[in-house]
Amino acid sequence: MKNFQARIEDKLRVISNYLDYSLYKTRRLFSREPSLNNVRNILVVELKRIGDILVATPTFRALKRNFPQANIDVVIPPGMEEVLFSNPDINKILTWDREKIKEDYNDYLQQIKDKYDLGIILHNGTYEFSKLLKGAKIPYRIGCTRVGFREPKGYFLTKQLLPDKKLKHKIEDNLDVLKLIGISSIEDKSPEAYVSKEADLWAKQKFKEHKINSKDFTVVFSVVSWTHPTWFKERFAELADKLIEDYKAKIIFLGTEKEREFIYSVKEQMKQRKNNYWFGQTSIQELFAIIKSSDLVIGIDSGPTNIAAALNKPVVTLFGAGDKTIWAPYSQNSISIQKDEVCTACMKSECKWRGDRHLECMKAISVDDVLNAIDRFR
């Protein structure tokens, strides 16, 4: 159940999208439609992080299949290059810092000026992003619809979608943009990810060090997110204990050095002192390799659950403040748990409620709920 503020924002999202579209149609009355003939170079901008970049991969694939002669370059944040390792649809990766778009505007402009026939802004774009594509003289510029009322789009798009009243998965939202250039009826909407040989060897060595072999039931726990509230330490601990007791599972906790304290707090509350591990901070490719080598991923709405979907690994995701309609890992091997009878989908990292209602979205998810979901994979 969305809280009152979230429901109001949903209605405002629809109204503001229609207002955007009306203004766009008014502007286009006085503009000529650019040509899509002979598209040779395409620029796609996605300046979010791991999960958001992975859900953009079906868009890259659809573009390449429809413009096989074109080079597709992708703009992502610095440090995210490994997410797109070996992606066959991408020609070149550019890195822009979202927070420095104003400061480095001219530098970014020179990187793309007079080089592209088609520009696409995924997720949501700011005034500066769309202005940048226009300044680079990209003749055809399209962009994604909002997923929230307060999220900006672009102001200098040459073509814009008629807004959809219904919230949909972010992959569907991204692919809808391609309808503007005649690409529709896309059958393969699955995200994709690739793992390097070096990362695979690293993961095998780490598993060997901890005496984890291919016959073990290996479960990855992703317990921390900096954008959404997490589940409770004692419940993660109880769940891990049950998996070790019932399935003789080996539990691998994922997390950075910054997240070590939370992870070790979970481990300290476990009754089972063996068969649980933290490999330390990893690179993105090493993270991919760990998940690829596992049998199941359990976590809150975060990058690792989306990685699991892209690698087609079984994944159980616990949703509180996020909306599973938009962000559930997109896979037949995915089960997402969210309780509709409590306040959900506020999209906030901090809960506004206090007392008994504090984090009721996560309190409503029991250990048994997760165990029942896991049983469906066994």
User: What is the chain's pLDDT, residue by residue, as a tens digit (378 residues)?
Assistant: 656 666 676 677 667 666 666 766 676 666 666 668 789 999 999 998 999 999 999 999 999 999 999 999 999 999 999 999 999 999 999 999 988 988 999 999 999 999 999 999 987 656 788 889 999 999 999 886 554 555 555 578 887 776 666 778 999 989 999 998 999 889 999 999 999 999 999 999 999 999 999 999 999 999 988 777 889 999 999 999 999 999 999 999 999 999 999 999 999 999 998 999 999 999 999 999 999 999 999 999 999 999 999 999 999 999 988 889 989 999 999 999 999 888 877 777 778 888 888 889 999 999 999 999 999 987
Please report whether residue 274 resides in a domain: yes
Among candidates 81, 136, 61, which has minimal Cα distance to 285? 81
Distance CA 29, CA 20 (A): 15
Alpha helical stretches, state H, 33-112 = 50-54, 57-66, 105-112
Q: Are residues 102 and 228 in the same domain?
A: no
Q: Are residues 248 and 220 in the same domain?
A: yes
Q: Are residues 161 and 251 in the same domain?
A: no
Distance CA 178, CA 120 (A): 9
**CB burial string 339-355: b at 16+ within 10 A, e below:** beebbbbbbbeebeeee
Which CATH number covers residue 171? 3.40.50.2000
Distance CA 149, CA 133 (A): 23
Distance CA 338, CA 242 (A): 21
Q: Are residues 164 and 265 in the same domain?
A: no
The single residue listed with the structure tokens 């990893």 is 282
Please report whether residue 188 resides in a domain: no
Distance CA 97, CA 89 (A): 23
Q: Are residues 88 and 225 in the same domain?
A: no
Distance CA 151, CA 284 (A): 27
Q: 284-292 and 303-310 helices cross at what angle (nearest 10)? A: 60
Edge-to-edge strand ranges of the sheet holding 118-121: 92-95, 71-76, 41-45, 118-121, 140-143
Q: Are residues 230 and 127 in the same domain?
A: no
Q: Which domain holds residue 343?
A: 197-375
Cβ-in-10-Å burial (0-12, 13-18, 19+) of 328 comes to buried
In 3-state terms, what secondary structure has residue 179? helix
Among candidates 296, 332, 335, 294, which has minimal Cα distance to 314? 296
Q: Are residues 143 and 245 in the same domain?
A: no
Please report whether residue 113 resides in a domain: yes
pLDDT tens digits for range 137-173: 999 998 865 545 555 555 788 877 766 667 789 999 8
Please report whether residue 50 resides in a domain: yes
79: CB partners within 8 A, 6+ apart? 95
Cα–Cα separations (whole angstroms), residue 319 to 250, 264, 339, 353: 24, 22, 8, 17
Distance CA 296, CA 305 (A): 10
Please report whether residue 263 resides in a domain: yes
Cα–Cα separations (whole angstroms), residue 107 to 102, 132, 134: 10, 11, 15
Name the strand (E) or helix (H) holding 93: strand 92-95
Q: Are residues 130 and 220 in the same domain?
A: no
Kindly report the backbone phi and psi dihedral angles of residue 318, in degrees, each rounded to the nearest multiple of 5, phi listed first: -100, 115
Q: Are residues 101 and 42 in the same domain?
A: yes
Query: Which of 152, 181, 210 corresponds to the end of one domain?
Result: 181
| pLDDT score for 222 | 97
Query: Which of 155, 181, 207 corresponds to the end of one domain?
Result: 181
Please report, as a single letter, which amino acid is at residue 243: L
Whether the CB-CB separation of 292 and 370 falls below 8 Å is answered with: no
35: CB partners within 8 A, 6+ apart? 139, 140
Number of domains in the chain: 2
Query: Which of 127, 149, 181 corresponds to the end of one domain?
Result: 181
- Sign, Cα dihedral of 287, 289, 295, 301: positive
Per-residue H/E/C for 200-264: HHHHHHHHHHCCCCCCCCEEEEECCCCCCCCCCHHHHHHHHHHHHHHHCCEEEEECCHHHHHHHH
In 3-state terms, what secondary structure has residue 102? coil
Q: Are residues 213 and 326 in the same domain?
A: yes
Please report whether residue 192 resides in a domain: no
Q: Are residues 169 and 240 in the same domain?
A: no
Q: Are residues 101 and 209 in the same domain?
A: no
Please report whether residue 186 resides in a domain: no
| Entry pTM | 0.89
Please report whether residue 344 resides in a domain: yes
| pLDDT score for 208 | 96
